[in-house]
Amino acid sequence: MGITNYTIVTLGSHSALQILKGAKDEGFKTAVVVTPQRIPLYKSYNNFIDEILEVKSWTDFPKLEKELLKRNSIIIPHGSFVAYLGMDQNKNMKVSYFGNKQVLDWEENRKMQREWMEKAGIKVPHRFRKGDKIDRAVIVKSYGAAGGKGYFTARNQKEFDEKLRSYNEERFMVQEYVVGVPVYFHFFYSPLTKKVELMSIDKRYETNVDSLGRIPAKNQEGLNIEPSFEVVANIPMAIRESLMAEAISMAERVIETSKKLISPKGLFGPFCLETIITSTEEIYTIEISARIVAGTNCFIDGSPYTYLLYDEPMSTGRRIAREIKNAVKINKLKEVLD
Ligand code: AMP
Ligand code: AMP
């Protein structure tokens, strides 16, 4: 079958516009699944979205299964998939899915993620287990891709104990707070070429932590402001070239390790290493996202890094479609689908 027989589908949220624009640029049919209030937004991009499939709520998504199968659909997962559909619903869908669904378990569970990174020889912030003495500043994180929701920081044991009393999350991890700057590296691993590509880099714009410096500390006194980390937007970055080699090597180790841990295919397609870089240029990875991240939306027409690899605008969304197209051409589509 040629590529015009396939429809690239995703949920109307997160990075859907980038994914569908890229799919259209590569020659695929495109469809978006949306809830009613978002129809006007996606309708306004009918230059690259062929079809809008409506669901009353995200939980109705599996009801579309027949329709999606009829269209030879390929679902492209993004950050909203597990968050909106839940793990089981997502896994049970029979529609073709770009990626390895087994990776979802490793991504969702912070402990498994940590094991993966440690085995890959990647620096991770110290983790405090239940009962450990908190001897430095910590950040407490809930599980799951919550976009920084439900986090808090504490300077010491006393503050930690106090804040924990009014904390509503059941599952969380306590991490050393790494002082440095956040840098999010976006990669793409092709199982066809066996190469890791650095696609782009962003930092997040988080409320309210990124704004605290606007008021001097002395004016903040008494206001009782707690830092929070909810992401509002993403800001493009170009990193010191001397840091690129280590970042790419880290990504390659993450992929190699995934082939052993998450057999047989491991992680492939887009992923992100979310890091904090300290003043001694140590790169700590605070999290890995095993899918397209929203920071890639800064680069719908390509990034400085994709320009080094491609003589045309190449977003991560378009790169996904390109991979599917290449796989179709050489009759290896099964290798990139689950
Ligand atoms: P864990 O074995 O680290 O996954 O922890 C299991 C649960 O214990 C977590 O989901 C939290 O509810 C709680 N917990 C984890 N770390 C700590 C900690 N440092 N102090 C207090 N409770 C914790
Ligand atoms: P995450 O959900 O793990 O991507 O974290 C969201 C935000 O919390 C990051 O962008 C950082 O601003 C902050 N953060 C998370 N973990 C740490 C850490 N260990 N040290 C310092 N800041 C952190």
Confidence check: pLDDT of 145 > 60: no
Which ligand 2 atom is nearest residue 151's CA? 8
Pocket test for ligand 2, best of 136, 139, 177 (most atoms within 8 A of CB): 139
The CB of 293 under 6 Å from ligand 2? The reply is no
pLDDT in tens, 78-89: 988 878 888 888
Give the number of whichever ligand sits closest to the CA of residue 235: 2
pLDDT band at 147 (very low <50, low <70, confident <90, very high): low
What CATH number belongs to 106-123+179-205+234-313?
3.30.470.20
- CB of 148 within 6 A of ligand 2: the answer is yes
- Which residue CA neighbors atom 19 of ligand 2 most closely? 177
Question: Does residue 2 or residue 252 have the better pLDDT?
Answer: 252
Q: Provide the mean pLDDT of the chain.
A: 94
- Rounded distance from Cα 129 to ligand 2 centre (Å): 18
For residue 236, give both structure tokens: 């493009």
Number of other residues whose CB lies within 10 A of the CB of residue 260: 12
- Picking from 326, 269, 232, the residue whose alpha carbon sits closest to that of residue 19 is 269
pLDDT of 220 above 60: yes
pLDDT of residue 51: 98
Question: What pLDDT does 150 receive?
Answer: 81
**Strand arrangement of the beta sheet that strand 7-11 belongs to:** 51-54, 29-34, 7-11, 73-75, 96-97
DSSP per-residue letters across 224-239: -PPP-EEEEEEEE---
Measured distance CA(172)–CA(82) in Å, rounded? 18
Split at pLDDT 50, 70, 90, the class of 330 is very high
- Residue range 56-68: mean pLDDT, rounded: 93
pLDDT value for 1? 84
Q: Where are the domains of the chain?
A: 3-97, 106-123+179-205+234-313, 127-176
For ligand 2, whether the C-beta of 210 sits within 6 Å is no
Q: Mean pLDDT, to the nearest integer, of 109-131?
A: 94
Q: To the nearest whole percent, how much of the chain has pLDDT over 90?
A: 84
Give the CATH fold of the 3-97 domain: Rossmann fold (3.40.50)
Enter the tokens of residue 103.
């990776």
What is the reported pLDDT for 87?
82
**Residue 306 CB partners (closer than 8 Å, separation 6+):** 197, 199, 200, 299, 313, 314, 315, 319
- What is the distance between the alpha carbons of residues 16 and 5, in angstroms, rounded to a whole number? 20
| Region of residue 72 (phi > 0: left; psi between -120 and 50: alpha; otherwise: beta) | left
Strand 7-11 relative to strand 29-34: parallel, antiparallel, unpaired? parallel
Closest CA to 78 of 311, 336, 272, 280: 272
Determine the average pLDDT of the residues in 312-334: 97
pLDDT digits (tens, 9 = 90+) for 28-55: 999 999 999 999 999 999 999 999 999 9
Label residue 142 by pLDDT band (50, 70, 90).
Answer: confident
What does the pLDDT look like over 246-287, one tens digit per residue? 999 999 999 999 999 998 899 999 999 999 999 999 999 999
pLDDT at 144: 60
- 235 in Cβ contact with 203 (< 8 Å): yes
Q: Which of 129, 157, 162 to mutate to test the pocket of ligand 1 (most atoms within 8 A of CB)?
A: 129
